[in-house]
Structure 1
Amino acid sequence: MRVHAYAAPSPSEPLAPTIIERRDVGPNDVLIEIKYAGICHSDIHTVRGDWGPRPYPLVPGHEIVGIVAEVGSEVTRHQVGDRVGVGCMVNACRDCVNCRNGDEQYCRGGMVATYGGVDRDGTITQGGYATHVVVDADFVLSVPEGIDFAAAAPLLCAGITTYSPLRRWGAGPGKKVAVVGLGGLGHLAVKIAHALGAEVTVLSQSLKKQEDGLRLGADHYHATSDPGTFTRLAGRFDLIINTVSAPIDVDAHLGLLAVDGTLVNVGAPAEPLALNVFSLIGARRSYAGSMIGGIRETQQMLDFCAEHHIGADVELISADKINDAYDRVLASDVRYRFVIDAATLG
């Protein structure tokens, strides 16, 4: 099947319209007519080679929602007409200890990324900046009716990337949670942490988004450009979620944690981050990382977001604005996630 898409021809060239081939629908496959695809900061890192060489031309996009157009003969969980989503992975070995535990994102054999990955049949995966995609049914999520469809797309990456560590490290009533950065990831971290019942603080470089942060569910908002912030908030938080994809002063942020507190990195800067081990030793603190979630947990996140009426704050764009959107993401000029209307790809 030949479909319209937008692809990066190389790390240095703008994305451009193209035609790609999708595989035939196999017995356990689902053909999805894509309605919306979110633009994730990791799309930009990937296509520009920040995280290593990639196969080109490359169609990005791993925040995908659409309608089931066809199902394979063995598919029982999804039917034609269903609202569905696809996130950051489309396959895994399914047999290693991590896959069996529902952590397919940490597959010992390497999970297959939605784009730029090598699938089990040896083909290179192409992502959601396209009109259609064929995905193994086991990696297709159900999108509840309670979430606006366009606003649901970023949940497939940004939503689960923040939900998973918030759940794992116990965000909830009685817990003080800080979110570093109020961007595509951060604004959803605030919404989800608030819905979980935690006391939420935003730590941003400036106060220019303070009104937004409080509207989204934050109880407090502080500027990290003010050195006094780190003095006033020292030892305050049980959990800090760092969502920014740029270097931060790790030691200064670790100093904001209470005894047994944890700083979790979900943003992925291209540069290494440094820390002084005494920032950990001094209060039995932990420094951790987290990457999306398994299929079961991602479905749990979608159901939770539907129950609490959580979707991303999105700016809907046509496909011919993708390159402009990339520049605006890098300039932090979006509130808070660009979403491509796939109807404009054809």
Structure 2
Amino acid sequence: MKTKALLFMVLCLCCMGSVQAQQDGRIPAKGFALDAPDGKFRTYEFTRHALGDNDILIETLYAGICHSDIHTVHADWGMPVYPLVPGHEIAGRVVAVGKDVTKFKVGDLAGVGCLVNSCRHCDECETGDEQNCTGRVLTYASKDYHHGNELTQGGYSDNIVISEDFAIRIPDGADLKRVAPLLCAGITTYSPIDFSRVKSGDKTAVAGFGGLGHLAVKYMVRRGAEVTVFDVTDDKRQTALDMGAVRYVNINRPEEMEGLEKQFDFLISTVPVGYDMSSYLKMVRCGGEMAVVGLPSFKEMPSIDANTLIHIEHCKLYGSLIGGIRKTQEMLDYSVSNGIYPDVELIEADCAAIDEAYRNVQQGKVQFRYVIDMSTMK
């Protein structure tokens, strides 16, 4: 939907004197939804909650496809409520603002990641870690208790309404078609790299060279670290080296796995399927850290036993979940100023194209992130 048409529609909803508009003022939306774990995408018309005083309405220009979208809609992490519009990597343009909005104006570029609200008052929210709030509201497949417990719908759609506090400012000059994946894949990798204070000269490693992993490589190379990449095929070897990795290891080649114990100061695992976690932890030196950000399906969830932990002395293992709003803004500003973007392939806003993209992601055929060009929606 074109910006002018969408803005006109919103103005009509907000200003016209019809009984329906006065009662709810809900915003019409159109997107792509699934009706079952084994279903295919279909076009889906629905409505979003009315524009509140502190809300902005964003016209979606680009929507990234995350592996988490696939896990969610396929019920790998529990059965969601259908119909379900996925998507938590959203880049677009502000087309309407509530009367008390100060952070954005009409025409600004804005992004939305994995969060659209939280309780605002707990310790986690107060310290800028809204992702850890027990009252967080996710961008899709989540009950929005701020708006009558309605189910949130995501970014594979022509618009989204969100509190200005949870929208991310997209810097001027950003490569907009490549911004959307930063709002999930970018913050998911940037946050632990920053937390562990990865610095120049550190020996680091990335397990899984996909949508998350290739951004982890770019961030750590930019910091001056020596980066080793682990993946399951040779297909991406040259690409990893071209990105600045010093070594690429195909874990299915035993000879390439030799001599790697206690080699790394920091290792980040982005693997979204079942794997042997202990094999990577053994590669971290004493006093080093391993961050786990990849989340496989429940049936493939890796684990590690106490015996292994005890014999890997003084190695720190921790998990990391995306990042709060302040950290996400920091990540996006840093990424744009340093020219760090995901490698993307644009696809049309079409059901068949999205279905095919899902199949390719599951088969590891994309390098490295699909992004839906929502301007092509019919």
Is TM-score (shorter-chain normalized) higher than 0.5?
Answer: yes
| Amino acid in the other structure paired with 1:274 | S
Q: Deviations over 1:300-346 (max 9, x none)?
A: 00011011101111000012200010001001010100000111223
User: Where in structure 2 are the equivalents of 1:1-346 lying within 5 Å?
Assistant: 1-107=27-133, 109-119=134-144, 120-121=146-147, 122-270=149-297, 271-282=300-311, 283-320=313-350, 321-346=353-378
Q: Which amino acid aligns with 1:110?
A: G
Contact 2:295 2:301 in 1 (8 A): no
TM-score, normalised on structure 2?
0.89
1:288 Cα shift? 1.4
SS in 1 for 2:119: coil
RMSD: 1.2
1:11-30 Cα shifts (integer Å, max 9, x gaps): 12101111111222110000
Equivalent residue letter for 1:125: T
Residue identity matched to 2:77 = W
| Counterpart-to-counterpart distance in 1, 2:102 and 2:32 | 31
- Of all paired residues, the percent bearing the same amino acid is 46
Task: Using the TM superposition, give the Cα deviation of residue 217 of structure 1 relative to its aligned residue in structure 2, in angstroms.
Answer: 2.3
**Aligned partner of 1:156: which letter?**
L
Using the TM superposition, give the Cα deviation of residue 112 of structure 1 relative to its aligned residue in structure 2, in angstroms. Answer: 0.4
Runs of 4+ with deviation above 3 angstroms = none
Matched to 1:277, the amino acid is: A
- What letter corresponds to residue 41 of structure 2 in structure 1? L
Q: Distance in 2 between matches of 1:311 and 1:200?
A: 18
Q: In structure 2, how many angstroms separate the alpha carbons of the residues matched to 1:216 and 1:110?
A: 39
Distance across 2 between alignment mates of 1:11 and 1:276: 32
SS in 1 for 2:91: strand
Q: Is the 8 A contact 1:146 1:309 kept in 2?
A: no
State the alpha-carbon separation in 2 of the partners of residues 196 and 20 from structure 1.
44
Q: Verify the 8 A CA contact 1:230 1:255 in the aligned structure 2.
A: no
Other-structure match for 2:12? none
- Paired with 1:243 and 1:279, the residues of 2 have a C-alpha distance of 21
Q: Determine the C-alpha separation between the residues in 2 that align with 1:274 and 1:64.
A: 32
Tell me the distance in 2 between the aligned counterparts of 1:302 and 1:100.
21
- How many corresponding residue pairs? 345
Residue by residue, what CA displacement relative to the aligned partner does 1:40-88 show, whole Å, maximum 9, x if unpaired? Answer: 0000100111110111101000000000001111110111111110000
Q: What TM-score results when the alignment is normalised by the length of structure 1?
A: 0.97
Instruction: Report the structure number with the largest CA radius of gyration.
Output: 2
State the one-letter code of the partner of 1:305: S
- Structure 1: 5+ residue stretches without partners: none
The whole-number CA distance in structure 2 between the counterparts of 1:339 and 1:206 is 24
Partner of 2:9 in structure 1? none
Q: In structure 1, how many angstroms separate the alpha carbons of the residues matched to 2:233 and 2:204?
A: 19
Contact 1:318 1:344 in 2 (8 A): yes
CA distance in 1, matches of 2:251, 2:100: 53
Deviations 1:130-177 (A, max 9, x none): 011101110000111343101111000000000001011111113111
Matched to 1:281, the amino acid is: I
Q: Hey, what's the Cα distance between the residues in 1 that align with 2:160 and 2:220? A: 32
Q: 1:239: Cα distance to partner? A: 1.0
Partner Cα distance (2:308, 2:291) in 1: 14
Q: Look up the SS of the partner of 1:232 in the other structure.
A: coil
Q: Contact 1:315–1:338 (CA<8 Å) still a contact in 2?
A: yes
